[in-house]
Every structure is written in C-alpha cells, then in structure tokens.
Structure 1
C-alpha cells in the first residue's frame, strides 16, 4: 500500500510547478488551508467496528480547488496530521493513504476531466455534475474499495463488512454530495480564482 502511494506522491511532486507555487502566497495559503480544513472533517468519525469508521471526505472540493498534483500532496498531509493526532492507527496508514486519499482523489479528478471533455461546459454542469454527483460517486468508491480491502486482508468477514460498513453507504451519499456541492458553489460564486479547475471562459462567457 505504501509503495503505490509513494509513487503517486512523487509523480505529483515531480510534475508540479514549484517555482510558480512558491512565488504565489495565495496559492500556498489555499493549499495548506485546504489541508487543515480536512483534518476536523476527518476527525468526525462514526462506526460500530474498529477500522470500519466512516467520515465525510471533502476530497472533491479539494481536487477541484487545487488540482490533482497539489490535491495529492495536501490530502496526504491531512492524513498524516490525523494519524499523528491519534485518530488513525499507524499500521493502517498505508491502506488509508492509498484507498482513502490517492484512489478517491484521483477518481474525483478523473470524473471532472470526463465532464470537462464530454459534457456541455456550463456553470450548473460544473457544480452539479463535477461537484455534487462527483462527490457522491467518490465516497461510494472509497467505501467499496476499503470494504474489499478489509475482506481481502481477513480483518472482517464479508457479512460483517456489509452489515456494519457498506450497509450505511447510502446514508452518506447525499450528505457528502451536498457538503461538496455547497462548498464548490460558494467558492465559484465568491472566490472563483481559488478554483484551479474553474475557468470563466469555459463556464460563463457566452453561455
């Protein structure tokens, strides 16, 4: 789990324009602010069995705001912080890193790319498809992949995972979608320059 996560992190760091990022104080503040904002969100966990806790992700907002490369770096920082604070055990860091950050964040960015490439570029498409529905799909993917890992690793049986983890997934889809959709709407309306993936010429001009 650690190796593919490290490769993704190195790929993101290698292709990032560090000179431009270091010269832009606003982007630096946004990046670290987004990472810090996820920490209390991820600390609000609930679950019946150890290791099967659930929490909101917020990764769709992060990746649309920062882009894939910086999203990977800051999402990894968020996970590191909550692990240091004792909310996640160190033995699970590799699985949480890959299945809780790298895979869902990359998937969310991929969904955005699909909407940008194949759907009509309009403000409401960005908010509701790339934001709202994307967030619901992202948390569903995260929970399903993590459930598969828990069964594959032998930590819990398939029935226990279904009853105590996958079974509550429908309850999280709409709140996760709403949380990200509202955040993206506010950012697009009041701070569009903060959104790395939002371009006025594509979504607003001549629409």
Structure 2
C-alpha cells in the first residue's frame, strides 16, 4: 500500500520516521553481513532488489493517495531473512524516490507499511511453520510463501486503511466502498507471484533461499 505524502498528519509521519529508523538500526545490527561477503550472495541480493524496484514501477491506484503494487516483502524474507529483507525494501524505497516515483517524506511510513509489517508477518509464519508443522516442501511453499504473502499483504492493507482513517483522508467511506471489496482480490497476485518464485528457487536454486534447506524439507521425504 503506497501512501502518498500529505495523506497523514505531520505527527504520524514523525512517529513513523522514528519507528522505521529503529527497525532499520536493528536490522543493520543483526544483519548476517558474512552472508553478503560472498560475491554470489551479494549479486543475488542486489539483483532481487533491482527486480523488485522494476516491479514497483507497475502500480495501480485504488483510491486517491493509496496506490497498489507487488510488495515482495515475503519473497525477500524467505530468500534472505528478515534483516536483509528490511534493508532490501529500504534500498527499493530509496530507488523509487530517486526515480521520482515517490517522495522522501512518505518513505518512513511506506517502509513500515510495505516493509516492516509484512516482513514481520512473513517471518512469524516461517518460524511457526518450522516449529509446529511437518518438515515438508509443500508445507514450506504453501504456508510460508503463498499464505505468508497473502497474510502479509492483508496486514499491510489493514494498516494502511487504519492510517488513512486516522489521517487526513477526505472520504473514509470510499475505503469501505472501493478499497475493502478489492483487498482479497489484490492479495491473490501477491501470493501467486511469491509462491511461484519460491517454489522454483527451492527446487532449482535452493542456495538462494536462506530459510530453505534440502535436508529439512526434501531429503528423506
């Protein structure tokens, strides 16, 4: 949910900036920098960021001030872990601003809505799957990727809607009449793209997916 500048009051933008800065600082502190020191892994990470940046240029507008495009937060979380996923989303956000597809003032709140929140949901579902569900390839793909991406999108959609309701959106009724009826429909492409890519990577390039292990999910099954 890409929120435009001016939709939220200044105090909410300030709170979002503080929260996003704290989350980014934690990600920088906990990030597995040794993983990125390998040239292959660095190329995969940067390539994923560039690909996601290109996908973010394809966007739709459901209501004024609230745009939609593929997030990719769940995909980055499963591929690189939550720390690098948040850093990757931040890189993509900066790239969209430099490409004149966003603005600096709305970057923190968009980083929270499209980055930190869906990443947290995706990480929680992955950890839940690891601890509570059978170690199976299809469980990983469907629960962590397909459903993870769908739930992450829905969480971001609800968060964006809540911010608009307490912000300066001129017509809250428009959310219920034009946006909410499309939320579940818009969650489908997020889930499909993420699940499709992860299912292929887990089979053909498992080394590119840090949260996936052949020994755990495939071998002996």
Q: TM-score range by the shorter chain?
A: over 0.9
1:47 match: secondary structure: strand
Q: Deviations along 1:101-136, whole A, 9 cap, x unmatched? A: 111112111111111111111000011111111111
1:8 corresponds to which of 17, 23, 48: 23
The structure 1 residue matched to 2:82, chosen from 56, 65, 68, is: 68
Kindly state the Cα deviation for residue 165 of structure 1 after the two structures are TM-superposed: 2.4
Q: What is aligned with 2:145?
A: 131
Counterparts of 1:38 and 1:89, CA distance in 2: 18
Q: CA deviation at 1:58?
A: 1.6
Matches within 5 A, 1:90-169: 90-169=104-183
- What's the secondary structure of 1:101's corresponding residue? helix
34, 46, 52: which is aligned to 1:38?
52
Per-residue Cα deviation, 1:136-170 (whole angstroms, up to 9, x for no partner): 11111111100110111122433112223222112
Cα 1:2–1:50 change in 2 (3 A) is same
Tell me, in whole angstroms, the C-alpha distance in 2 between the residues paired with 1:190 and 1:151: 44
Per the alignment, residue 200 of structure 1 pairs with: 214
User: Number of residues paired by the alignment?
Assistant: 206
TM-score normalized by the length of structure 2: 0.88
| 1:183 maps to 2:211 | no
Superposed CA deviations along residues 64-101 of structure 1, whole A, max 9, x for unmatched, are: 00111111111111111112212123332221011111
Structure 2 unaligned runs (5+)?
1-15
TM-score by length of 1: 0.94
Higher strand share: 2
Aligned structure 1 segments of 4 or more residues deviating by more than 4 angstroms: none
Structure 1 distance, partners of 2:124, 2:141, is 15
CA distance in 1, matches of 2:121, 2:81: 12
SS at match of 2:215: helix
Partner residue of 1:83 out of 70, 88, 97: 97
Indicate the larger mover: 45-54 or 177-186.
Answer: 45-54
Please report the RMSD computed on the Cα atoms of aligned residues, expressed in angstroms.
1.4
Cα gap change, 1:17/1:182 in structure 2, threshold over 3 Å: closer, same or farther?
closer
